[in-house]
Amino acid sequence: MEVDDQQISKIKKVFLILSGKGGVGKSSVTTQLAFALYEKGYKVGVLDVDLCGPSIPKMFNLENGVINQSESGWIPVYYDNEKRLGVISIGFLLNSKSDAVIWRGPKKNSMIKKFMTDVVWGDLDYLLIDTPPGTSDEHLAVMENIRSINYSDYSAVLVTTPQNLSVNDVRREITFCHKVGIPITGIIENMSGFTCPNCKDCTYLFTRQGGKILAEKSNCTFLGAIPIDPNLTRCIENGLDFLTTLKDSPCYSNIKEITDKI
Ligand code: ADP
């Protein structure tokens, strides 16, 4: 299918969600940002380009979702009947959860190109692109397509945990962003401390404020810190409804504040 300018110009803002390491909470942050923007009334798309480890369908509790083909292209899997929160992931195209995608660069590139040009999102306020950790074929493919499609408003949101090991890898992501010319909206520090539900004391299980310090040193905006929240894990593990389970939870409240800044 040819890239349809009209279709593409309907996406107002694109965020690439990046992290240096896996397991720092990039996909959960993407999911929470999507829900927070959706709750604000926006129309949101989530594109999962983590081809080898797609966790977005599980996060949205849409594991049985199917991508349908229309004359104009692929129809996202929707969370809601109103079709304001849509998701595209390779996870929807695999036969089983244990299927492995073992592809070299060119095959990954062509799948990402399809994801970025053949999906019928309709009008979108935000497209959140969840990427694999690091800087790999997938990131380059996304950037090439963003440029050829000519999205006017795109930028990166970096996710790290507070520890040096994660922060150091995010430094590499910052260098990547500078090299490929993607503006950085800011850094989110995930898993920063655990507040005891009884005594309300906050325990910093890892180093303190690594993400904040990195943001200051690298001249990036610090978007906020998200605590470790057992409700989030419980919600994802047990396939509970996100909006009801996390309604008053500390991590989601902080994410909602972050959406005021992006
Ligand atoms: P990544 O996308 O960076 O690989 P995920 O978003 O898949 O990381 O998160 C890894 C695991 O950590 C998931 O089981 C998720 O539920 C958990 N997790 C992430 N952020 C938090 C948090 N703030 N509080 C509690 N658990 C979290």
pLDDT computed for residue 63 by the predictor: 92
Written as six digits, the tokens of 17 are 């969600």
Annotated binding site: 20-27, 196, 199
Residue 73 CA to ligand 1 center (angstroms) comes to 32
User: Using CA positions, which residue lies closest to atom 5 of ligand 1?
Assistant: 25
| Nearest atom of ligand 1 to the alpha carbon of 251 | 23
Mind listing the pLDDT tens digit for each residue in 149-165? Answer: 767 799 999 999 998 88
The token duo for 204 is 């910093």
Which architecture does CATH list for 10-253? 3-Layer(aba) Sandwich (3.40)
Please say whether the beta carbons of 60 and 219 come within 8 A: no
Which residue from 154, 145, 179, 132 is spatially nearest to 19, judged by alpha carbons?
A: 132
Distances (CA, A) of 37 to 41, 79, 191, 226, 260: 7, 13, 21, 17, 9
Q: What is the pLDDT of residue 62?
A: 95
Q: Which residues of the chain have pLDDT under 50?
A: 1-9
pLDDT score, position 147? 83
The predicted structure's pLDDT at residue 5:
45
* pLDDT (0 to 100) of residue 196: 76
Query: What's the 24 CA to ligand 1 centre distance in angstroms?
Result: 6
